Amino acid sequence: MISIQHLYRFLILVLVLIVSSCEEIIQPKDPQISPRVVFEHLWSDIFNRYSFFEEKQIDWELQKQIYEPLIHEGLDQFELFEILGDLLAELEDGHVNLLSSFNRSRNWSWFEDFPLYYDEQLIYDEYLKTDYRIIGPLHAQTVENMLYVNYRSFERTLTDQHMDEVVRLMQFHDGLIIDVRSNGGGNLQNALNIASRLTEKEIVYALQRFKSGPDRSDFTHWSPLRISPQSGEKYLGKVAVLTNRRSYSTTTFFAQMIKVLPHARLFGDQTGGGGGTPVYAELPNGWTYRFSGSQTADLDEVQLEFGVEVDELLTNPMDQIPGKDHFIEAALDWLKD
């Protein structure tokens, strides 16, 4: 005959087993995603939707042959991330990134091999000084009766009220310099907020189309991108815009807007490019990534992905002036002419 004590112990054991089984059902462990599955997903999505294979002469199938043998089930997450980041770097595109909880891949080939011609300390010491105006994201100062405006990032919001103040100041100045060197881009609307104060009529400044299918030729039709004049006060005098190779993405779009304005001129070095609108996606293991899913071109269908050329190139070492910023000085000379 089973004693009460033995029966009690038996029931406790059964209860523990039942609870443990329920926990397994309710809270299963996350399955390990195969590195090969993650690799194939990323490679295939880029193959189907990336927009610049033809323009950059990239053989994506060849890249698969190179990188796929590196993938095996023994890879840890850090090793897998490094391989996938190197794969994406083959696109040489600043709009291509892989993002995990521990790192973000990126490619800076569009500027890292070029001088930037931008000495921020010199600019503040010699031109902005300590009493510059702070107009939202803009730092502004009078330089030889011209208004010099330095804009570090199009990520920083530029409102109508900020532009109202810039336009108001122009009644006391003979010309405008906008310095967007090493501005990596941001919100396109901020660029349009400037350009819309520099024209009285609507102007088409570029063309854009989107990748629409897996074939290399699968794109939508080209559609115009426009500058529409803002309803407030405008400045229609001479405008000099300064760019360098680190002027990217929205800054390239802004440079193209300046290109089509008859009273404006680009100085310095061509922009770094970034003419593709990024699209975002997620890998089976939870990492996210982005890549260019569109193309933008000038009115002659020249791709902005490779940058906008300036009207006055200032990259010759002979152009430099000791103790001065020769981009600003060249702009001042043109505005005075």
Per-residue pLDDT, 231: 85
- The whole-model pTM stands at 0.89
**Both structure tokens of 3:** 């004693």
CATH homologous superfamily of 120-276+296-336 = 2-enoyl-CoA Hydratase; Chain A, domain 1 (3.90.226.10)
- Cβ-Cβ contacts under 8 Å for 15 (sequence gap 6 or more): none
Q: What is the mean pLDDT of residues 290-315?
A: 98
**Which is it for the CA torsion 242, 245, 246, 248, positive or negative?**
positive
**Which is it for the CA torsion 191, 196, 199, 204, positive or negative?**
positive
DSSP characters for 296-307?
EE-TT--BGGG-
Summarize pLDDT for 240-263 with one digit per residue, the tens: 999 999 999 999 999 999 999 999
Per-residue pLDDT, 32: 76
Q: What is the 3-state secondary structure (H, E, C) of 273-289?
A: ECCCCEEEEECCCCCEE
**Both structure tokens of 12:** 């406790």
Instruction: Give the lowest-confidence range in 17-26, 100-109, 204-213, 321-330.
Output: 17-26
Work out the percent of the chain whose per-residue pLDDT is above 70: 91
Domain residue extents for the chain: 35-110, 120-276+296-336
Which residue in 159, 169, 174, 163 sits closest to 199, CA to CA?
A: 163
**Which is it for the CA torsion 298, 266, 54, 91, positive or negative?**
negative
**Which is it for the CA torsion 257, 260, 263, 269, positive or negative?**
positive
| Distance, first Cα to last Cα, the chain | 114
Q: What is the mean pLDDT of residues 25-35?
A: 57
- Cβ-Cβ contacts under 8 Å for 266 (sequence gap 6 or more): 241, 242, 243, 255, 258, 259, 308, 309, 310, 311, 312
pLDDT over 70 at 55, yes or no: yes
Per-residue pLDDT, 3: 52
**Both structure tokens of 204:** 């088409």
